[in-house]
Structure 1
Amino acid sequence: MSTLLKALALTCPIWMSAAPAKAVPQEKHGPVDAQHASNSFIRPATRIVSLQPSFTEAICALGGCDALVGVDRFSLWPQQVSALPKVGSLRDPDIERIVALRPDVVLSRPGHRVDDRLEGLGIRVLTLDAQTYEDMAQVLETLAALLGRPGSGIRLWRRTSEQLAMLQRQIPPKWQGKKVYFELHGGTSATAAGEASFIGQTLQGLGLVNIAGRDLPMYPRLNPEYVVRANPDLIITMAETAIPPSNRQGWNRIAALRNNGHCRIPNDEYDILVRPGPRIDEAARLIVQCLQRLALPNAAMSKQ
C-alpha cells in the first residue's frame, strides 16, 4: 500500500462511524465542534456566516453555497462568494455586521474572542478546527450535517481521497523518497510545514520525506542552519519568496538550490496549499505538476 493510501486509510473509522441518515426539518441532528460540545439544530442551517476560507470552500463544495449570507475577507473561492457581504476576519470581525445578517450559525475556530462576543449576543457559534486529514474528513461531515445533508461529507472526502491516490501515481520516479522543505513564512527563523500537519501528510503521501519530522511541532520555526544540515532536495515556497535570502548563510550549498529543486508556487495558488479544505487534491496537483516540470531534461533552463 502506498504511503498516501496508508495515510488516507486512517480516516476510514470516521467514514464508518458517520451513518448517512436523512435529516428532516423537525429531527435534531448534532454536529460536534472541535471542543466536543454538542450543537443541536432543530432544522438545517440556512443562514451561515463563515469566518474561515476553508469553511467557506467546504460549505460550497457540499452544495450549500446558497446558505452562506456572509464570509470573511479572505474567502475568494468559489467565485460566487465574492458577492457576499464581507465581515472582517477572525482577528478583526465586524460584529455589528455579523449580527445584522441574522445568521443561524457562525463558523469559527477555537481560541478566538469572537466566539464569546457573538454568543453573548445570542448568536450560535460552531467552532471547528482541521489540522490533519482525519480532522478534515470529520469537519466535512460535520458541515454536511449542519446543512441537513448527512453523508455528503463522507462522499466528498472519498472522492478527494481517490484523486489524491491517483496523483501519487503521477510523481516522477526521480522524486520518490527525496527530502523536502515546505516554507510557510520567511524571516530569519522561517516557519515550516511539519510532517504531522495536513500539508505534511500531503507531502508524505506524494512520496516525499519532510525534513521537519514528527518530533517537531506541526508548524515549527526552523533556523537557517537546521535547513542547511537537513540538506533538502526540494524546497517549496510561494513565488514571491526569494530563495536563498541574503541573510541565510550556507543556503547556496543546499542540494535543492544546486540542482534546480525549487518549486515556486504562484501566490494566487499558494493559498490552496495551506488551506485544510476540500481543494486538498488541487494542492497536491500543484506539487505534482511542479515536480513533473523539474523532471524535464531542460528544466534547468525553464522558469518555475
Structure 2
Amino acid sequence: MCAMSRRPVTQSVVFVMMNRLRGGAGRLFLRVLAGVLLGAGAVSAAVPGAGGGPTTGSPVPTAGQVPAAQDSVRTEGRGHSDTRMDMGLRIHADGRMPADARRRADSQDRMDGQARLDDRAQAGDRALKDDRGMTVTLPARVRRVVSLSPALTESVCVLQACDRLMGVDRFSNWPAQVATLPKLGSLGSFNVESVAALQPDVVLMASGGVVADRLQKLGVAVLVLSPRRQADVAPLLQRLARVLDLPQARADAVWAGIRTQLDAVAASMPPAARGWRVWLEVDPAPWVATPSSLLGETLAGLGLANVISGDEDMTAGEQPGKDARRDGHADGRADMDARQNGHAEGGTDAGTPDGEGHAGASGGSPGSHTMPAYLQVSREWALQVQPDVLMISDPQQQGLAAVRARPGWQRLKALQQGRVCLFGGDALDVLVRPGPRLAEGAQQMRDCVVRLLKRR
C-alpha cells in the first residue's frame, strides 16, 4: 500500500524533472531512472510517447492529453533536435552505456552546446573577440558572471560590478564581498558541472585549455582575457566595461587612479636605495623574475635593478641556464599561477599566461622583450652575482630559516647583513596580480626597502 501511494508522487517528480532538463543526456538518464523506479508502465505514463498506458491514479496527463510522440525531442532555441532515441542508444543491464553509444552521446552534447551558442548569435547579441582570437557571443546584458581568475575577479569588482559575480576560483580573495561566493576550484581542477549549474552569461578565464573547451561544449560562453603586464591593465578594464555594459569613463577613471598611485609610490622611494640589485625569486628551485615579468616591471618602476639584466650570456656555464617553459614547472610556480590566474591551465608560465614572456610598457631592460618572464637559475649563481637585496616569495610561510639553510648561501652578503624580504599570503597576492592593486604591490616592495635601510 505504501509503495502504491508513493508511485504517483515519484511519477510527478520524474515528469517535472524531464521537462525542466535541457540536455539530451539528462532526459536519457531519467528515462532509465524512471524504468528502475516505476517499471515499464510508469515510464509510459511519465514520458510522452514511450508506449503503454498510464498507471492508475497517476497525476500526469493521460494519453489523450499528451501530444503524439515525435521522431525527435525538441530542445530550446532555434529548433535543433535531440535525436538520441533515434540513434539506437541502449543501456546494459548493469547500467553501463555501450562505448559506441557514449561516443554518439558525446557528439550530440557538443552539437547541442554549439547550437545554444549559435542561438545567442541569431538573437542579435554582442560578439566580442577574446585573447585566444576567438569570437565569443554574449547577451546584450551580462547579469551573471563566473570569474576563474583572481585578477579578473578584482577587476570586475573595482568596476563596481561585484554583485554580478555568481562564483569564483579558490584563490579569488579580494574584495571582501567575494568571500561568500561559491568557490569553484583552481589549478586545472575546476568543477565544470558546478560552473555550468550557475547558468552564467559568461565565464571569465585568464587562459583557455581543457576547462574552457568543456564549458563551451556545454553551451557556456567563455571569454579569455590574459593580462600579463602593467600596460595590459588599462585595456583589460576597458574591455570588461564593454562586456558588463558599463561606462568607459568608469574604467578610465579607475586606471587613472592606479597610475597616480604608482607614481606616488615611486616618488617616495628613498634615494639611497635606488640602483640596488635585487634577486627576485618566485620559487625555491630557484626561479627568478626577469625584467619582462610583472614583478620585474614593478621593481624597475621603483628605481631598483634586477640581477637579471637581460644582457647575460645565456650559454655561459654558471649563468641562468633554462628558460621558463610552458610545461612541467615546479610546485611553487604553480602556486604563483594560481594566485595570479586562478589556474595553470595549459601549462603556462607563472605570470605569463601565453608563455611568451614579452615586456610590458614599463620596466625591463634592453633585450628584455626576448626573455621569458621567469628563468630557472642555479643557487650557485646567486653567490656569483652577490645581490644587494633578496626578495623571495614564501607562499608556504617557511620563513627566513629555510633561506639560511640553503647550501652555500651563508656566503651571501645580503643574507649575512639581513637584507632579505619575504612575501607570503596577501602581500604575495597583490605583488603578482596584473589588476587594480598594482600600486599596493609596488608599496609592498617600497616598504621592504625602507625597513632594510633602517637596519643599516
> What TM-score do the two structures reach when normalised by structure 1?
0.82
In structure 2, the partner of 1:228 is 383
Task: Say whether residues 1:248 and 2:407 are aligned partners.
Answer: yes
Q: CA RMSD in A?
A: 2.1
**Is the CA contact 1:49–1:71 (under 8 Å) kept in the aligned structure 2?**
yes
Distance in 1 of aligned mates of 2:135 and 2:256: 25
1:198 aligns with 2:356: no
2:175 to 78, 81, 90: 78
Say whether residues 1:257 and 2:354 are aligned partners.
no
Moved more, 196-205 or 134-143: 134-143
Q: What is the CA–CA distance in structure 2 between the aligned matches of 1:95 and 1:155, rounded to whole Å?
A: 35
In the alignment, which residue of structure 2 is the partner of 1:269? 427
Bigger CA radius of gyration: 2
Q: Following the alignment from structure 1 to structure 2, what is the Cα–Cα distance between the partners of residues 61 and 276? A: 13
In 2, Cα distance between equivalents of 1:133 and 1:32: 21
Instruction: Give the 3 Å change call, closer, same or farther, for CA 227–30 of structure 1 in structure 2.
Output: farther
The count of residues paired between Structure 1 and Structure 2 equals 270
CA distance in 2, matches of 1:43, 1:67: 15
1:285 corresponds to which of 434, 440, 443? 443
Which residue pairs with 2:102 in the alignment?
Answer: none
Q: Is 1:39 the counterpart of 2:136 in the alignment? A: yes
CA contact (8 A) 1:272 1:279 kept: yes
The SS at the match of 2:166 is: strand
Identity %: 36
Deviations 1:227-253 (A, max 9, x none): 22222111112353435343432x223
Q: Secondary structure at the match of 2:138?
A: coil
Distance 1:241 1:194, change over 3 A: farther
Cα pair distance change 1:233/1:146, threshold 3 Å: same
Inter-CA distance 128–230: structure 2 relative to 1 (3 Å threshold):
same
| Residue 109 of structure 1 pairs with residue 206 of structure 2 | yes
Please tell me whether the aligned partners of residues 148 and 169 of structure 2 are also in contact (alpha carbons under 8 angstroms): yes
CA deviation vs aligned residue, 1:250-282 (integer Å, no higher than 9, x gap): x22333223332112343322111111211111
What is the CA distance between 1:46 and its match in structure 2?
A: 1.2
Per the alignment, residue 254 of structure 2 pairs with 156
Which gives a bigger RCO, structure 1 or 2 (Cα 8 Å, sep 6+)? 1
Question: In proportion to residue count, which structure has more helix?
Answer: 2
Report the equivalent of 2:164: 67
Separation (CA, whole Å) in 2 of partners of 1:38 and 1:270: 34
- 5+ residue gaps, structure 2: 1-122, 311-367
Structure-2 change in CA distance of 1:123 and 1:164 (3 Å)? same
Counterpart residue type for residue 171 of structure 1: M
Mapped partners of 2:206, 2:294: distance in 1: 16
Counterpart AA for 1:207: G
